[in-house]
């Protein structure tokens, strides 16, 4: 039925559709620089990251780490203690963390900044007009920042059984006896380890290779650790049917294996939230993964940008924040700005962590062939890692003509360490710059300096010419 009620007209400089991390960054930056900004959000302020993704998952992981530490304290001279896990209380901890961060993303804060916040779904009606509830909004520039939601694959029988996603698992108050997880990517593996450490049996069912987008050598270290903790990881196990079997849920795979558990989490990926936008009316094209954008994040409608998950690329909060900066530069100042991808890192917050930026070793070998050198340094040679018994890990840096083109790290604080390599790639720094820095001793951050040193080791210590020059100089020195 067509809405016959008259719409209230709003004219604005910047219309942001979606109040996730990217949309909020654009809105806050634009309004503080003098633009008239309107923000649409029909659901929760803060988007997926605050309410269902990054924040709650890391909070639950923190609870799980604490339980694991209690049960494995003996190597530090402290008696092991069986943790008494209160799963509902752990979820209370998650809720408290969200509530603590929530005011920063709240409607009240953004209205205080001067943003016009409308809690309605937006829908394009022309190339520059969006309708939202009783409002008809005309904007000079529009930013699609609608994020993504869990992709639920069309597995026969799935619609007939209760299943969880990364959005609904936070409502679960009773610890699963046996959690089945379809999907062995970052979300699946993080939730697998967290729930195992909180006392659940866990089985991960992955149709290909678990952590398949990461360096196989480093991913293998993580997967071995998870298996050692008692997690069953079934790879090359494509889910073919899901069914209820009494009080249990069964997942049958293409090769005939059957996995049985009490709860099911579907974590096979995410899809961009674009269906409700009526993009065709605005002349905006889409791809299989999201809105079609160019290097400046403009859509096929030059007045409209798409950022973050909606843009169909890397689906990370920090990428959405990076995109916001590109859009502000372009939309507010009319300056040329292009989004790059080679310096964008990602991390999986298992223990050990797994982080990456730039090209993997396989990608670098394919792109650079014999020009590639790979510098390696193991955690078990880092004194701080030894002191804290966190020696399981490895850092690899892919180097071409003295400059890093990629880095992969697994181990303690890998997500922290990878930031330096993002800086190095972004700034075009040489390995000599990294080796010349001074890291405080003893710290995990020394690993970055030491791997740069490992790159120069064969040049300095295994080079006959260098040795000859040193001996010659020593003869002539007074």
Annotated binding site for FAD: 58, 122, 146-148, 309
Under a CB-based contact definition with an 8 Å cutoff, are residues 249 and 264 in contact? Answer: yes
Residue in 288, 341, 6, 354 with CA at minimum distance from that of residue 151:
288
Binding residues: 58, 122, 146-148, 183-190, 206, 269, 309
d(CA 264, CA 161): 9
Strands 135-144, 129-132: pairing is: antiparallel
- Side-chain half-sphere of 244: how many Cα atoms within 13 Å? 7
Residue in 93, 92, 98, 121 with CA at minimum distance from that of residue 46:
98
Under a CB-based contact definition with an 8 Å cutoff, are residues 283 and 272 in contact? Answer: no
Q: How many other CB atoms are there within 10 angstroms of residue 103's CB atom?
A: 10
d(CA 438, CA 124): 54
Binding residues for NAD(+): 183-190, 206, 269
The overall longest dimension of the chain from CA atoms, in Å, is: 97
Omega of the bond leading into 331 within 30 degrees of 0 (cis) = no
**Torsion angle defined by CA atoms of residues 102, 105, 111 and 116, in that order, rounded to the nearest 10 degrees:** -130
Q: How far is CA 263 from CA 64, 182, 328, in A?
A: 19, 11, 44
Please return the burial class of 228, using the count of CB atoms within 10 Å of its CB with bins 0-12, 13-18 and 19+.
exposed
């Amino acid at each position: 039925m067509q809405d016959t009620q008259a719409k209230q007209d709003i004219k604005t400089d910047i219309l942001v559709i979606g109040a996730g991390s990217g949309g909020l960054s654009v809105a806050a930056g634009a309004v503080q620089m003098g633009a008239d900004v309107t923000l649409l959000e029909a659901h929760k302020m803060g988007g997926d990251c605050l309410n269902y993704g990054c924040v709650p998952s890391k909070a639950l992981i923190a609870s799980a780490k604490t339980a694991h530490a209690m049960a494995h304290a003996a190597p530090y001279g402290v008696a092991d203690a069986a943790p008494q896990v209160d799963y509902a209380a752990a979820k209370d901890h998650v809720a408290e963390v969200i509530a603590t961060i929530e005011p920063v993303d709240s409607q009240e804060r953004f209205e205080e900044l001067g943003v016009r916040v409308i809690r309605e779904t937006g829908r394009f009606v022309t190339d520059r007009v969006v309708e939202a509830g009783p409002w008809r909004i005309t904007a000079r520039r529009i930013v699609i920042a609608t994020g993504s939601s869990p992709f639920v694959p069309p597995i026969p029988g799935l619609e007939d059984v209760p299943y969880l996603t990364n959005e609904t698992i936070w409502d679960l108050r009773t610890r699963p006896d046996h959690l089945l997880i379809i999907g062995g990517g970052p979300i699946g593996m993080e939730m697998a380890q967290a729930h195992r450490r909180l006392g659940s049996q866990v089985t991960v069912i992955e149709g290909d290779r678990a952590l398949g987008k990461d360096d196989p050598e480093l991913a293998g270290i993580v997967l071995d650790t998870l298996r050692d903790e008692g997690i069953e990881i079934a790879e090359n196990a494509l889910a073919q049917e899901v069914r209820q079997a009494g009080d249990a849920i069964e997942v049958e795979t293409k090769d005939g294996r059957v996995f049985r558990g009490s709860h099911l989490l579907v974590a096979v990926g995410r899809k961009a939230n674009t269906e409700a936008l009526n993009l065709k009316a605005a002349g905006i094209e889409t791809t299989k993964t999201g809105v079609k954008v160019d290097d400046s994040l403009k859509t096929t409608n030059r007045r409209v940008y798409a950022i973050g998950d909606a843009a169909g690329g890397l689906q990370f909060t920090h990428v959405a924040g990076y995109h916001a900066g590109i859009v502000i530069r372009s939309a507010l100042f009319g300056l040329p700005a292009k989004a790059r991808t080679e310096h964008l890192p990602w991390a999986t917050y298992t223990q050990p962590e797994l982080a990456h930026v730039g090209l993997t070793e396989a990608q670098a070998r394919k792109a650079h062939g014999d020009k590639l050198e790979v510098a390696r340094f193991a955690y078990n040679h880092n004194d701080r890692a030894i002191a804290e018994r966190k020696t399981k890990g490895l850092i690899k840096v892919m180097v071409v003509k003295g400059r890093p083109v990629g880095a992969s790290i697994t181990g303690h604080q890998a997500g922290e360490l990878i930031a330096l390599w993002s800086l190095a790639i972004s700034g075009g720094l040489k390995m000599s710059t990294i080796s010349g820095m001074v890291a405080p001793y003893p710290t995990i951050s020394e690993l970055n300096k030491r791997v740069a040193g490992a790159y120069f080791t064969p040049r300095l210590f295994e080079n006959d010419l260098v040795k000859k020059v040193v001996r010659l100089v020593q003869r002539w020195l007074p």
